[in-house]
Structure formats: C-alpha cells, structure tokens
Amino acid sequence: MSRILIKGARVIDPGSKLDAKRDILIKERRIARIEKSVTDRKARVVNARDLIVVPGLIDLHCHLRDPGRPDEETIGTGSHAAVAGGFTAICCMPNTDPVIDNDGIVNYIYKEAARVGLCDVFPIGSITKGRGGRELTEFGELLEAGAKGFSDDGDTVADNNIFRHALEYSRVFDVPIFEHPIDKNLAQDGLMNEGLVSTRLGLKGSPAIAEELIVARDLLLAKFTGARLHLCHISTEGAVELIRKAKREGIRVTCETCPHYFYFNDEVLESFDANYKVNPPIRSEADRQAIIEGLKDGTIDCIATDHAPHCQAEKELEFANAPYGMIGFETAVSLIIMELINKQNMSWLDVIRKMTVNPAKLIGVMTANMTQGTVANITMIGPDKKWKVSEDNIKSRSKNTPLLGKELKGRVKHVVIKGTIKYALKD
Ligand SMILES: [Zn+2]
C-alpha cells in the first residue's frame, strides 16, 4: 500500500478546531501522523505549501440523473465531477426515473458507485412512493439498504397530513426528512424571483412567500412531532429568520443553502440566460445578504450544491420552457472562496464546517475529521488559483452553468479518498 506525505499544508480541521501548518502522513488508507514536521523516505510527497488542506467535502444535495437520464449525468460522470470539485461524499436526491423509493434502486446506486470507485454516493430515499405525495415508502427497508434520509425533492410534500406522518415515521428511525420547501400554488411556475427585477423584465415571478409559507408549516410540524427536519436550499430572508427563531426555541431543524444564493442576486436574470433559472429562484440583494448573515451566525448549517445537470437542448429552449437547475460540483469551492472567505471574511473553519462535520453529523456517516487514525479523505485547495470555466474543463456530462467563460479564483488541486489520490488537477 502506497504512502503519501502531504508537506507544509495549512490544515483546516473543524472537528478538532485546527487551523495550522502541518505535515500529514497517509499509510494503509489512514492518517498515520499529523504533526508539525513529518519525514518518510518511502512516501510519495505532495508539496502543499500554498494549499489549504481540509477533510473531504460532503455534498448533501445533488442530482445524478441515474437511473433515468444518462445523456445528462450518470453516477460515473457525476462522481468524476464531484471529486474534481473536492467532494469525497455526495448525497443524491431521489427524483430519478425510476424514483429511489425501494431497496432495489438503493442497491443499484451503491453497486454502481462502487464500480466507479471514486467518491461515496449516499442515496436519499423518497418520502412517498413514486414521489407521488400520497403513500409513504418503506423507510425501514430503504434505510437497511443504505438510504441516509428521505426527501421528495423537486416537490414539497404538499399534503399536511402525509407530511405529519412522514415526520412521525422518521422519528422511529431518528433520520432526517429533507424538505424542498416551495408551495407550488404560490410559486405558479414562476421563472425568477418575484420583485422589482421580474416586473422590469416582464418575467413571471415566484414569490419569497412560496418558500416561507412551507418553511413555517414545516417548522410547526417539526415542533409538533419532535422529528428531525432538514430544509433544503434556503434562499429568502424570511426563511432564514423563521429558522433562526425555531432554533432558539429548540426545534430540531437544520438547513442548507447553495452557492448560487449567496453569490448572485436576481439582477443576473437581465441576461435572460436560462442557466440562471433555478428552483427556488435566485433572490433579491436583501435576501442574498440575509443568507450570508445566516451563514455567519450559524443559522444555516450546511452548504450544498443542488448540482442539477440538464442537457443543452433543454436549456436552449425558450426561457419559459427551460428546466430549472444549474450544475454546481466544480464551481462551489471557487464561489465559496471568492464570496465567503475573501469578501465576507468568514473563517475557513466556519465555512469548511458547513461542508464536512455538519453534513456528516446530519446523515450519520463517518465524522469528517483529520486526526490520527481516521480514514484519509482529504481535499487540497489552491485558494488563489485562477481558472476560466469552460465546457472542456467541466467533467460533468452537462454544461449548464452561467459561469461558462468566467474567470474564478480558488480551485481544488488534489483529492485523496480512503488513502488514495483520486484526483490531481493538471495545469
Ligand atoms: Zn429541491
């Protein structure tokens, strides 16, 4: 088994609150030593003097389109893209075809991810059969097969009684319910955030209240049932405020936001680039500021990508008919560095916690630590590395990102998974 020696890195390990220069020796899949100075003549040396070294990132929310749409993404292409973005574990949402609503599909995902042999792929099972919103799936059977939580993502569980029963059922197993909180009737298939900009552009808007109404309902039901609620892709000021209050009250709620909600505001829609069309929509500047505040004060626990691949032909449809979603694995780290670290002065420890220990705790997988003896899942980031996003350097099978052609700062350089270098950036 080969040895790897990472030399001179700035190690950020939120689990042990470490932010210091360290050498790391990896031996037999594990971190054998993490000290100020380590030498090992037999090890392959990675010079990490200018790099930030963090535990392997975990993405709580992505869409791999597998099974169902291999023309958009597969577990193979998605895993490659995830690893290039620094993720060593990802959770895939169940809005596949067929839906992840039985143990057969969960088994298929594990088998396929093992065959690909890159990152861990953890399936999220659907709450209701076929994501139909009517009949609960067999949580026990899905968990036994390895599902890490439940969600009808893409849709809210609209029926209050069904959602109540889903929460109660989840308590039996103490697993989180991942909710996509958007009231369909209020959202009215809006194309962008409802506000001044949508009025100016003459595009139908989806109002913040569509998100906030369901967040409020979900929090009440979480309080009532005592279940673990995880709110996906939070995007509005009002939602952040509701969650902040609920946490103070002791309700068992966690939430995530995505890079596009703290990096962009709705003025970007002036370009009519359908790659900016996401659900929930990119919101106003006030909402963006509130999301940043929520990240800073800990109201928002996790940063997830909501990586949502779509084929070019579909994104090239008229704006009104283009599907919602943008890819996100490979640009997440850059947007986080440019906005949260460089502009907002958030600490590396605070940011990386939201992509490692917090999501790990939520889905109950290995704690994402970098201490002696832990399995070596490690991401090395060049924080000042400039790069231009292009169709050629994106590994995802789909290229639907509004960042094509843009120059970004900060890029993943190496990724170690279970003690093996699985990715090294070719410059
Ligand atoms: Zn969603």
**Ligand 1 centroid, distance to 168 Cα (angstroms):** 22
Collapsed DSSP state (helix, strand, coil) of residue 298: coil
169 touches 142 (CB < 8 A)? no
pLDDT of residue 317: 85
Find the 309 Cα to ligand 1 centroid distance in Å.
Answer: 13
Among 114-123, 170-179, 364-373, where is mean pLDDT lowest?
364-373
If you measure from the C-alpha of residue 178 to the centroid of ligand 1, how many angstroms do you get, rounded to a whole number? 9
* Centroid of ligand 1 to alpha carbon of 154 (angstroms): 5
Residue-wise pLDDT for 115-163, tens only, equals 999 999 999 999 999 999 999 999 999 999 999 999 999 999 999 999 9
Q: Which residues line ion ligand 1, judged by CB < 5 Å?
A: 153, 180
Residue 208's Cβ-count burial label (10 Å; 0-12, 13-18, 19+) is buried
Q: What is the DSSP string of 358-393?
A: HHHHHHT------STTSB--EEEEEEEEEEE--TTT
For residue 391, how far is its CA from the centre of ligand 1 (angstroms)? 25
Write out pLDDT tens, residues 317-356: 888 999 999 999 999 999 999 999 999 999 999 999 999 9
Among the options 59, 174, 306, 384, which is catalytic? 306
Report yes or no: 363 and 176 within 8 Å, Cβ to Cβ: yes
Q: How far is the CA of 234 from the centre of ligand 1 (A)?
A: 10
* Poorest-pLDDT segment among 89-98, 220-229, 359-368, 369-378: 359-368
pTM: 0.97
Dihedral sign (CA 397, 399, 400, 406)? positive
> What value does the mean pLDDT of the chain take?
97
User: Is residue 330 within 8 Å of 84, Cβ to Cβ?
Assistant: yes
Residue 47 CB neighbours (<10 A): 11
Type of residue at 29: R
**Tokens linked to 3:** 């040895």
Q: Extract the tokens encoding 24.
A: 């790391």
User: Going by C-beta distance under 8 Å and a sequence separation of 6 or more, which residues neighbour residue 268?
Assistant: 276, 282, 402
The predicted pLDDT at position 427 comes to: 72
Pairing relation of β-strands 253-257 and 52-55? unpaired
The answer to whether 350 is a known catalytic residue is no
